[in-house]
């Protein structure tokens, strides 16, 4: 008697391969979705940071728009400002000011360095901020550290300081709301990025010791 041989094919093989293919496809889709999500989040983070980017400039003015009483000329001025031309607020961490290369702590030390024999009466028309560390300069805004418009009655100390404004050098360190920090000097073309604002030995406070 001849026996008919039968070949048995596993019915589940095709189903198993389909499961594997679907599983691999799902994994790939998940990985691509994760990458897209991370990339999108990183791009959004960069966009937010870019829209909060301060750009500080150190400005000084040697003249004003105020006329002398006789109307023949405008009055001179000694003014120092921090101007934010960026698109996010700048938090001032410190300012350093030097006169002929030597750091000065405040307006007393600046006046002592520049103008021997100055008196409190000489500077009564000098407007000062008092403090600058921690000041927030909004985008498009400015903070005046101190401003001194030429007195109508001439004073020697004003004339001497005005004449020596080129001897004043200064720098400032500031941070964005994301704590991305930069140092700017009066002579640099652009700010220099730094990891954090490490203060110099002597920082400047735009006030007098008694105020």
Kindly give the confidence (pLDDT) of every residue in the chain, 211 residues in length, as a single tens digit, with 9 standing for 90 and above: 555 555 555 556 767 887 788 888 778 887 877 777 676 555 455 445 456 899 999 999 999 998 889 888 999 999 999 999 999 999 999 999 999 999 999 999 999 999 999 999 999 999 999 899 999 999 999 999 999 999 998 899 999 999 999 999 999 999 999 999 999 998 888 999 999 999 999 999 999 987 6
Q: Given 3-state DSSP classes, what are the helix, strand and coil percentages for the chain, each rounded to the nearest 5?
A: 25, 30, 40
Residue 12, judged by CB atoms within 10 A of its CB (0-12, 13-18, 19+), counts as exposed
pTM for this model (two decimals): 0.75
The answer to whether the CB of 26 falls within 8 A of the CB of 55 is no
The domain spans of the chain are 13-50, 56-194
For residue 54, the number of C-alpha atoms closer than 13 Å in the C-beta half-sphere is: 28
Q: What is the pLDDT of residue 36?
A: 73
Residue 146 — φ and ψ, nearest 5°?
Answer: -155, 155
Strands 181-185 and 168-175: antiparallel
Q: What is the pLDDT of residue 204?
A: 97
Closest by CA to 173, choosing from 150, 191, 152, is: 191
Identify the three-state secondary structure at position 101.
coil
């Amino acid at each position: 008697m001849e026996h008919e041989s039968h070949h048995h094919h596993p019915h589940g093989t095709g189903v198993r391969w389909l499961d594997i293919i679907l599983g691999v496809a799902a994994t790939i889709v998940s990985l691509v979705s994760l990458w897209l999500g991370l990339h999108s989040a990183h791009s959004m983070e960069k966009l937010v940071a870019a829209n909060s980017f301060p750009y500080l400039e150190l400005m000084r003015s040697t003249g004003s728009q105020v006329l002398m009483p006789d109307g023949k000329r405008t009055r001179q001025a000694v003014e120092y400002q921090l101007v934010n031309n960026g698109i996010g607020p700048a938090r001032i961490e410190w300012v350093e000011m030097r006169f002929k290369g030597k750091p000065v702590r405040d307006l007393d030390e600046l006046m002592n360095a520049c103008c021997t024999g100055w008196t409190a009466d000489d500077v009564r028309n000098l407007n000062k901020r008092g403090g600058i560390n921690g000041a927030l300069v909004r985008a498009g805004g400015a903070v005046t550290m101190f401003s001194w418009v030429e007195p109508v009655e001439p004073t020697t100390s004003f004339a001497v300081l005005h004449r020596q404004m080129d001897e004043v050098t200064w720098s400032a360190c500031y941070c964005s709301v994301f704590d991305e920090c930069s140092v700017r000097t009066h002579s640099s073309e652009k700010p220099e990025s730094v990891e954090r604002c490490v203060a110099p030995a002597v920082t400047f406070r735009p006030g007098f010791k008694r105020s």
